[in-house]
A and B are shown apart, each in its own frame.
Chain A
Amino acid sequence: MTNEKHNLIKARRAALIALLALCLTPCAPTRAADDKPAADDPAVGVKEHRHLVKGLFSKEREADLREAIGRMPDEIELVTADYQTNEAVFRYDQSKVFKGAKPQQVIEWFNQRLQQVSDRTFGIKPLPELPADKLTRVEIHIAGLDCKACSYGVYLTMERVDGVEVATASFHDGLATALIDPSKTDRAKLIEALKKREVDVKDDDAKADADKK
């Protein structure tokens, strides 16, 4: 990823976060409608929303996500999905699709509906609290069957570790990555979690992390 693009993403993300923060401040739906002009209210009208997607752990999962969204009865469109950041952008009218939901409930409702159509292999999470530059990127080389479900298993193992915000896994590529909160966990702990479940980890623990920012 180029620095420029990354900065753009960062900026966009920051803006969205700010926007979301505003939206999420407690306010009655009716009041929101009264207080904010409709055009500016992100909850009203078909708008783009960025969420963190659980289960978006490899490139091929981007198409799976598109299919799953298509299966939902709600009017939600997938604009883009990026497995490396576990993020996707959706377009929907929050006031219609999640009518009656308090702002902090939207993600949970979306999560439940998406889980239902995807056998719980996809879900929606809030974006990480920490900004991207505060998260550490971790890379682990792994070997195993070139099997989507096996990769999913690795993803689940990592995602369950406290401090892991974003994770990817692909035996096809032989690589598992994660964005972690360095105050909560580290690369060694992730490798330990994988080894405990008998994943074939190819990296030597003593190797230095490839910290990328």
Chain B
Amino acid sequence: MTRLGYTAMLALVLIARVSAHAAAPDIVNNYFEDNCFDCHDSKFRKGNLDLTALKFEPGNLDNFARWVKVFDRIDAGEMPPKDEPRPVPGETKALQAWLGDALRTAEHARLGDEARTGLRRLTRAEYENTIRDLFDMPGIALAGELPADGSAHGFDTNADALDISHVNLAKYIEAADHTLDYAIATRPQPPAVMKMRTALSYPAGFVAHVLMNGDGVLLRDKKPDPNFLPAAEHKHFDQGAHEQMGVFRSGATVGLFRHEDESFFPYFNEFVSIYPGQYRIRTSLWSFQWDKGQVLPSRGTEAARLSIVTLTGDGRGGGHPSTVLGYYDAPSMHEQVHEVTTWLNVRETFGFNTASLAPVANYSRKGHAMAFTGPAIACDWFDVEGPIHDVWPPVSHTRLFGDLPITEFSRDANPDVRPPQRDERRQPFFPGKNPPDPVKGVWTVHSDKPLVDADRLLADFLPRAFRRSVSDDVRKQYVAKVDERLKAGDCFETAMRWVYRAALCSPDFLYHVEPAGRLDDYALASRLSYFLWNSMPDDTLIALAKSGDIRKPGVLDAQVERLLKDPRSQRFVDNFLGQWLKLREIAATDPDRKLYPEFSTYLQNSMVAESRAYFRELIDKDLDASHLVRSDFAMLNQKLATHYGIPGVVGSQIRRVELPAGCPRGPFLTQAAILKVTANGTTTSPVPRGAFVMQRLLGQPPDPPPANVPAVEPDVRGAKTIREQLDKHRSDPTCASCHAKIDPPGFALESFDVIGGQRDRYRSIGEGDNPQRGSIDPFIGIGFKLGPHVDSSGALPDGRKFSDITTFQDLVASDTHRLLRNLASQLLIYSTGREVAFGDREKLAAIVDQTQKAGGGVRTLVHQIVLSDLFQTR
């Protein structure tokens, strides 16, 4: 057919408005007949695809997806395969032009003009962050109580992932109550600031017990405390006697050898929080080498972990839920004082661990501490001060009640009014010695003109909480409820509490309310702040929305800069990476103890910190997308650097480290966190790792395996390498069609084990040679052997070969455009709450182009996304 003929057909077909033609139109059939049916007919069905039977019904979702796949494979030049005869010149282009239009049209017909991003509620994290910011209570814990969100297209921001059931609603009501309990001030003055100096050796903690047995020692002036000799041939006798004698409260330094384990949890539980709020802690840490009674310089700086522990039940025992506060350096023989300010909820205390030390036990060693030589971390003291309130009543209260006075409630003056409910604050747990600061009488906000005040307060609160302007009518409905409650005998505080709770459970609060089509200014401000702060817009953004300035030239760019520079943008880094690179699943598997004895929680936490810091660096320095797979620097602390075999890094804090040439470390591709989440704790396999690289880094998700393929059972006895077991992937052409793409990145990554360590030989439990200790801590027993050699060579589908991980990295890094495009796509899915449609591809390409023109950096990409139509449209 001539070019004219094609064009005429095209026009005819388009005019006929292809929507539900059963048989594929001629243009398609002809192309298929010329180039495809030889393999893809009903007889041969190569790759399980029979194109003769494929109807053209793009109005049907499944059918649409199949045709998109056809389009993509032709577009990528993968079909017809390279070794087959080429199509007539121009034939492909014409087909693609027609097919693209037809698909776009069909998609448009299906989606209509309606909102593409489904109406969605706040995710768990968004809900918690919104409350935290709304009430300035940065640490209130709410997300854990809410049912888990789902996941759609990799993220929880999609409406399909965000169902709501009566259970969610019940939990929202509880959460609102909890929030209001914390937020409302119930006294005229803040609770007295408590200052306490405590020690690890506080008797009701666990450390006193292990000191008796020689798993730790007491020191004075960096020498053993003469009042408490190190456990030697005998352990100490009668802990109670020692407590009475004040041995553990003498101000001596505690030197700890023992790491936290299933029966040992060092807590500073002389302090247990009674009031929520900000607390300042200070502690003095150092490390030493203990040699049978002598205190000597240690092997270097050690790292101690502090955590916030939520005491449950009766507060006794250990193993309470906790979150890591941070890791802190303990330099050799030299005290370092650390200071941290953090939010505590009620019933919380602090936990401690000798994170960088390998597990040792002296309680069962003959001679106990006096027979032990090894490293220790020393804690001189631990100070807690708080709750610290810069203003009173706190912001959480003034958000609700403005500056209404807090006065004592008089039952005589209010005979028909029920006083507000009050729970007495007590020191809830026996080990805690900090006393409450009780207030006498019942204090509550006072209003002379309750309905006027209610109206005024709601006029401030509702638009702030709902992130948009609220009509007078709606506000009046709330005020009417206040009136009702007052008439029913509630005091002002209780009546207002009723409507505030309702507001926090209303769909205006729980949902992202966005008009269809182009976002209005409030919706844009919201979308921007939920993108980069995972939370509600602040006053500045709201003001810009209100005034209409938000869309003025330069304003959005300036706001992106402001938001990225704010510490709250860390939530974006954590949330986005947590889902995009599956870091949320970092703890889903426990590495096999025998194969990977050097694994520790400290290493795991450091891994996640590395990935987050790396992404942060890409944003801060506007680095390009090649850095996803190759880099000349890494973000490391001492633990990671040692794990990776990179010398010269000291301390627990993550910092940028320039890498020598040829070092594969640095980018996401070779970061331990990614290598761990793509393995199962015991073995690695090129298939999940390869699929991960394809899907998450390259944006080419592979097809799922055919239903009747038996799963491979990996063999960890060292008999066969996984590569050998996957031989069918290469030898069988049906498998090869997908696995030629999936396996190569996986083969390259075989250079790394399940905890991200580099290897040339597989570790095995069965046969093998004895390994070198390398950087594994001297106290860790090595029981694994070295098995077969690792072969991390391979070839990309286009034939280019690589011999190892670094040559692979070079190959992949050259495809910066693809990497950038996928990152853009992921950021769009995350920030807009919808997938990238077929019809969006052009706009996506435009974003990527603009970014490339301006240097291709990640920060630039974020800017371009925010400025794009895709972001600013529903």
Contact = CB atoms under 8 A, between A and B. Distances in A.
Given a CB threshold of 8 Å, the question of whether A touches B is answered with yes
Interface of A: 119-121, 143-150, 152-154, 156-157, 197-200
A149 B228 CA distance: 8
A163 B412 CA distance: 64
Given A152-B242, A200-B234, 9 more contacts: A143-B233, A144-B234, A148-B227, A149-B242, A149-B244, A149-B247, A153-B241, A197-B237, A198-B237
Contacts, number: 61
A153 to B, nearest CB: 3
Interface string B228-264: 1101111111101110111100000000000000000
Contact of A119 (B227, B231, B246): B246
Nearest to A146: B229
Q: Which of B234, B237, B240, B244 gathers most chain A CB within 10 Å?
A: B237
A175 to B, nearest CB: 15
Contact of A149 (B231, B232, B238): B238
A200 B245 CA distance: 21
B244 A147 contact: no
Contact of A143 (B234, B240, B246): B234
A152 B831 CA distance: 67
Nearest to A198: B237
Contacts of A143: 233-234
Q: Which of B228, B229, B244, B245 gathers most chain A CB within 10 Å?
A: B245
Given A144-B234, A145-B237, A152 B229 contact: no
B238 A145 contact: no
A148 B242 CA distance: 9
Nearest to A120: B244
Contact of A147 (B229, B240, B246): B229
Interface of B: 227-229, 231-238, 240-242, 244-247
A149 B240 CA distance: 9
Contact of A153 (B227, B228, B233, B242): B242
Contacts of A150: 234, 236-238, 241-242
Contacts of B233: 143
Contacts of A147: 227-229, 236-237
A148 B225 CA distance: 12
**Closest 10 pairs (CB-CB, A-B):** A153-B238, A153-B241, A149-B242, A149-B245, A150-B237, A152-B241, A144-B234, A153-B237, A149-B241, A145-B234
A144 B237 contact: yes
A42 B234 CA distance: 48
28 contacts: A143-B234, A145-B232, A145-B235, A146-B229, A147-B227, A147-B228, A147-B237, A149-B227, A149-B236, A149-B238, A149-B241, A149-B242, A149-B244, A149-B245, A150-B236, A152-B238, A152-B242, A152-B244, A153-B237, A153-B240, A153-B241, A154-B237, A156-B238, A156-B240, A157-B238, A198-B237, A199-B237, A200-B234
B244 A119 contact: yes
A152 B245 contact: yes
A157 B238 CA distance: 9
Contacts of B247: 149
B223 to A, nearest CB: 16
A157 B233 CA distance: 21
Contacts of A148: 227, 245
A30 to B, nearest CB: 40
B218 to A, nearest CB: 11
A147 B239 CA distance: 12
B201 to A, nearest CB: 13
A62 to B, nearest CB: 16
A56 to B, nearest CB: 14
A77 to B, nearest CB: 24
Contacts of B237: 144-145, 147, 150, 153-154, 197-199
Contacts of B227: 147-149
Nearest to A199: B237
A148 B245 CA distance: 8
B776 to A, nearest CB: 35
